[in-house]
Amino acid sequence: MKPVKVGLLGMGTVGTGVIRIVEGYQEDLQKQVGSPIQIEKVLVQDRSKARRYSIDPNKLTENAWDIIDSPDIDVVVEVMGGIETTKQYILAALERGKHIVTANKDLMALHGTEILAKANEKGCDVFYEASVAGGIPIIRTLIEGFSSDRITKIMGIVNGTTNYILTKMSQEGASYGDVLKEAQQLGYAESDPTSDVEGLDAARKMAILSTLGFHANVELSDVGVKGISQVSKEDIVYGQRLGYEIKLLGIAERQDDLIAVSVQPTMVKKSHPLASVNGVFNAVYVHGEAVGETMFYGPGAGEMPTATSVVADLVAVVKNLKLGVNGQRVFVPYKEKKLKTDDQIASKYYLLLHVADKAGVLAKITQVFAEHEVSLESVVQQPNSNTVNAEIIIITHDASKASMNQVLKHFESLDVIHEIKSVYRVEG
């Protein structure tokens, strides 16, 4: 049997995992696809570097074009990361008729439309399951599992770093800064954690998921983003007292073909399954008109979970090769993108206000809500022993984002409100 030959761009954590699986599970893979799968060439930065996993040094190259230009290589697996150079490599490989498997969420969020169009033109496969939620097969599920349904909502914890930080803050009462340092020491957070903690990583993943789920080209710039760096111990404690956990959620909603996508710290009711997703784990909740509520849970990163998703895509490419149907499953958005306005985006809200501790304050605040037609679900007022202020915690009923913005603007002009301490969306 003639082997299917693979070129691997990158031999870091995930690349090493891919080689481990392909070489270690060769018999199982052959049974699935009907021929051997062979790692032919591996792009590395330094061929002389000592490696955790032994590989034939003759397979290593420092020149990506040794892989891209090779007529023997059928599939290029990209796990090197980066955007512009990587995009150049992938487009060049597609131009030469090679199929692509990538774990690169940044690339697919920013240039996925162009890459998929080139794949469509050349009759090539491009699979990117590992780009979102590591070992959870969520992309294949959206494309295939929900092909007969109409998805109305995708909501998930898609960044393990922020979930780890919020979990530790919740369970141990630790401060954001202390947990972030610990996460960096453990390797869960980068030395520059901005992409994770400010929600950019999650936003890229939500752009990919909402494009697939809603069949419209949702771009990164369409995603409203707010990170967790302002979440305080106070927010965590008060949320728990009211029956909520704070999670950084990606939320994509569709109603009458109008779409809204955001990433933001969210008060999640403790009875909702997402509230109990802790540590570095990811979970994605999908609501379909026909199937109702479903949730997918698992490790969101790591060598072997992510490599498992990469190799699953590789198996899919090879099966298509055997059947002669490559390029027929390339996903191209076909619906016009229509984004909701702030008037059309509705949710419950949690507010924590520091106010003057005197009579009549609550009446003034509730009057502002009434003026902007925002009704209240609950109001809790309590003194704060650390300040001269009183604290008011409010949960609203569903209100439009535009109305809430007007309320907050009005609050800024009220002398009895000393600080709008926190504002979070409420789910579940």
What pLDDT digit, counting tens, does each position of 260-289 carry? 999 999 999 999 999 999 999 999 999 999
Mean pLDDT of 384-394: 82
Q: How many CB atoms lie within 10 A of CB 65?
A: 11
- pLDDT exceeds 90 at position 45: yes
Which position has the higher pLDDT, 403 or 189?
403
288's tokens = 């379909």
Mean pLDDT of 110-125: 94
Which position has the higher pLDDT, 222 or 49?
222
- pLDDT exceeds 90 at position 83: yes
- pLDDT exceeds 80 at position 331: no
**pLDDT of amino acid 171:** 96
Work out the pLDDT band at 48, boundaries 50, 70, 90: confident
User: Domain 4-134+303-323 carries which CATH code?
Assistant: 3.40.50.720
2's tokens = 């003639």
- Distances in Å between the Cα of 45 and the Cα atoms of 50, 98, 210, 309, 310 are 12, 22, 35, 24, 21
Instruction: Return the DSSP state at 335.
Output: B
Chain segment 130-141, per-residue pLDDT in tens: 999 888 999 989
Q: How many CA atoms lie within 13 A of 334 on its CB side?
A: 3
CA–CA dist 408, 388 (Å, integer) = 22
Residue 93 CA, chain-centre distance (Å), reads 27
In 229-312, the DSSP E strands lie at 244-255, 258-269, 281-288, 292-299
Which position has the higher pLDDT, 359 or 42?
42
**pLDDT of amino acid 176:** 93
**pLDDT of amino acid 348:** 98
- pLDDT exceeds 80 at position 301: no
- pLDDT exceeds 90 at position 388: no
User: Domain 138-299 carries which CATH code?
Assistant: 3.30.360.10
| Opening angle at CA 84, ends 110 and 88, nearest 5 | 105
- pLDDT exceeds 80 at position 353: yes
Which sequence spans correspond to the domains of the chain?
4-134+303-323, 138-299, 346-427
**pLDDT of amino acid 63:** 97
- Distances in Å between the Cα of 112 and the Cα atoms of 83, 115, 217, 222, 314 are 11, 5, 9, 15, 18
Name the percent of the chain lying above pLDDT 90. 85
Chain segment 200-224, per-residue pLDDT in tens: 999 999 999 999 999 999 999 999 9
Work out the pLDDT band at 300, boundaries 50, 70, 90: confident
**For all residues of the chain together, what is the average pLDDT?**
94
Establish whether domains 4-134+303-323 and 138-299 are of one fold.
Answer: no
Catalytic site positions: 205
- Asked whether 353 and 392 are in contact (CB, 8 A), the reply is yes
**pLDDT of amino acid 425:** 98
Q: Which among 228, 230, 176 is positioned nearest to 202, based on CA atoms?
A: 228
Instruction: Name the architecture of domain 346-427.
Output: 2-Layer Sandwich (3.30)
- pLDDT exceeds 80 at position 65: yes
Q: Which among 424, 178, 151, 398 is positioned nearest to 290, based on CA atoms?
A: 151
